[in-house]
Amino acid sequence: MLSLKSLSLILVVVYGSLLLGGQVFAQDPVEKVTASTDVEATMKSMALAYKQAMVATNPSNMLSKVSKLKQLVASVQLVRFETDRQAILQQGLTEVQAQLELVNASLTEGDMTTAKQQLEKVDALKKQYHKKRSPSIWELLFGSD
């Protein structure tokens, strides 16, 4: 049977490990992503983060803007859209996140040229899915493609 001393020593070791582990994780800022409450405002913030990333002059600055952009996209991914558009919008957001992961990988290698080329594809995806998000009056009347 464990003595009280042994038990308290075990608790100190376990508790100390948990505290140390918590400190290690606390050094890496992890922001909780919540669903956007104003998709339009979030989209404007995404556009600003994109522009700032494109004009960044060093990989670390660009990486911080891309990280912000990834967080904003994740917050929009948590939004429930109209049923008829949910799947297509989520597909677009997923493609944007995948492209941002490629940008992130290029930046961790220090390759800003490739990262900016990959980031331009994010803009192309935005344009492609914005057309699907907001159909024209003619598409509403006669259908698309």
pLDDT tens string 81-134: 888 788 888 999 999 999 999 999 999 999 999 999 999 999 999 888 877 665
At 127 the pLDDT is 86
pLDDT band for position 31 (cuts 50, 70, 90): low
Pick from 2-6, 73-77, 79-83: least confident: 2-6
- pLDDT band for 80, please (50, 70, 90 cuts): confident
Distances (CA, A) of 58 to 114, 116, 133: 13, 11, 34
C-alpha to C-alpha distance for 70 and 122, rounded to whole angstroms: 11
pLDDT at 108: 93
pLDDT exceeds 80 at position 71: yes
Overall average pLDDT of the 15-41 stretch: 55
The amino acid at 99? Q
Calpha distance 122→130 (Å, rounded)? 12
| Integer Cα distance of 49 and 140 in angstroms | 32
Closest CA to 101 of 66, 65, 50: 66
CA 17, CA 86: separation in Å to the nearest integer? 44
Q: Determine the residue type at 84.
A: D
Give how far Cα 24 sits from Cα of 7, 14, 31, Å: 26, 15, 15
Confidence check: pLDDT of 8 > 70: no
Tokens 């996140």 locate to 97
